[in-house]
Amino acid sequence: MTMPIVTLATSADYPNLDDDDQGLPDALRERGIEPRIAVWNDPSVNWDDAGVVVLRSVRDYAKKRNYESFLAWTRSVPRLVNHPDVVEWNSDKHYLKRMAELGAPMIPTTWLEPEAGYSKHQVHTRFPAHGDFVVKPAVSSGGRGTGRYTATDARSRSEAINDAMHHLGRGRTVMVQRYLEEVDRKGELSLVYFNGVLSHAVEKAPMLHPSFRSTDEVHEEIVTAREPSEQEWLWGEKVRKAIHGVVKEHAGRDIQLLFNRVDVVEDGNGGFYLMEVSLIDAGLYLGSAPQALDNFADAIAQRVFW
C-alpha cells in the first residue's frame, strides 16, 4: 500500500527544516505518512506530486525580491495548508486593523504609508515624544527589520528615522508603536492551535532589549511552556473567533486553519493587546511544550486522511 505524502515546505536558509521542526518527519512516518522536505522556490520540485504541502520554515517570503513570487507560488500548489487565501491575508500586518475592529485590540500604532512620500522631518514628527518605541515593516517574517529606539536620545531617534526611511524607500508600510513595559516585565504569551483546538502555550522572554536595532536576521526566541490562565484562554478564543471572521470576509468562506499562533501581551489595564497572528511561517514551539510535536503530527494526519 502506497503511503500518502506530506511535503514540508521550507526555505533555502533551512533546507532541512529549523531545529524546532526536526522531529516532525519521524512523527509523520509513525502515522503512516511519507514525509518530504522541499524548498518553496526550488524550480526542480513538482508540487503536483507533493501531496499535502505544509508551510514551515518559509521565513524568506517577506523579502521584497520574494514576496510576490511567494504569493503566486501558494496559488500554484494544489493542496497547501494553510490555504493561499489565508496566506495572502496574513502576510501584511494591516490585518491587525480589522482584528481591532472585531474586538482584538492592537498596540496603538502610527502607520506610515510609502505613497505618502514622507520626508525625514515628517517621519520624526510622527515618533513618540518620550519613552521607547518600535519601528517595523508591515510585511516581515521572524522579526526581520524590527528595531527598538528611545525617543529622547538623539542618536537613537536618528537611527529610527533612517530605519523608517529605509523601509519606506523600498515601498514598505512602516508601523510605529510605543514599546510596552509589560513586555519587559512579563514577556509575550503565544497560544498555539491545531485544527482549531488549543494545543499549548508558551511565554516568550523579551527580545527587544534597549540597545536592540533593526536587522535582517531572524531573531532567536527564549520560550517557556506554561498553562494559560482562564482569562488568557478566553482571550485566545476571542481572537480565534475574530480571525475566522476576517478570513471569511477575505476569502468569502470559512477556512479551517491547520496551525494558528496567537501572540498577546498584557495591556496594563487587565486586558490584552494582540501582537500578531502567525499563519504562514509560525514557529510552533514543538520542542518546548509536552505533546506539542505529537499534537501537530496528529493534526496533519487528520488533514491527510480526511
CATH number of the domain residue 23 falls in:
3.40.50
The enclosing domain of 126 has a CATH number of 3.30.1490.20
CB 127 within 8 A of CB 189: no
Could you say which of 60, 89, 118 is where a domain stops? 89
User: C-alpha grid cell for residue 136?
Assistant: 517595523
Residue 100 lies in a domain: no
| Same domain flag for 81 and 43 | yes
Residue 152 belongs to domain spanning:
109-178
Residue 147 lies in a domain: yes
Residue 46 lies in a domain: yes
Could you say which of 178, 205, 225 is where a domain stops? 178
| Same domain flag for 296 and 193 | yes
Overall domain count for the chain: 3
pTM, two decimal places? 0.92
| Same domain flag for 114 and 158 | yes
| Same domain flag for 126 and 197 | no
Residue 21 lies in a domain: yes
- Per-residue pLDDT at 205: 80
- Per-residue pLDDT at 151: 96
Residue 29 lies in a domain: yes
The enclosing domain of 209 has a CATH number of 3.30.470.20
| Same domain flag for 161 and 238 | no
Residue 99 lies in a domain: no
| Same domain flag for 292 and 195 | yes
- Per-residue pLDDT at 142: 76
Residue 263 lies in a domain: yes
Cα separation, 66 vs 79, in Å, equals: 21
- Per-residue pLDDT at 145: 84
- Per-residue pLDDT at 99: 94
| Same domain flag for 42 and 116 | no
Instruction: Tell me the average confidence (pLDDT) per consecutive run of 10 residues in the chain, 306 residues long.
Output: 93 96 98 98 98 97 94 98 96 95 93 97 96 94 86 96 96 94 82 96 74 53 89 93 90 93 91 94 94 98 92
- Per-residue pLDDT at 1: 65
Cα separation, 120 vs 118, in Å, equals: 7
Residue 95 lies in a domain: no
| Same domain flag for 171 and 191 | no
| Same domain flag for 254 and 296 | yes
| Same domain flag for 222 and 121 | no
Could you say which of 158, 178, 198 is where a domain stops? 178
- Per-residue pLDDT at 270: 86
| Same domain flag for 148 and 238 | no
| Same domain flag for 229 and 294 | yes
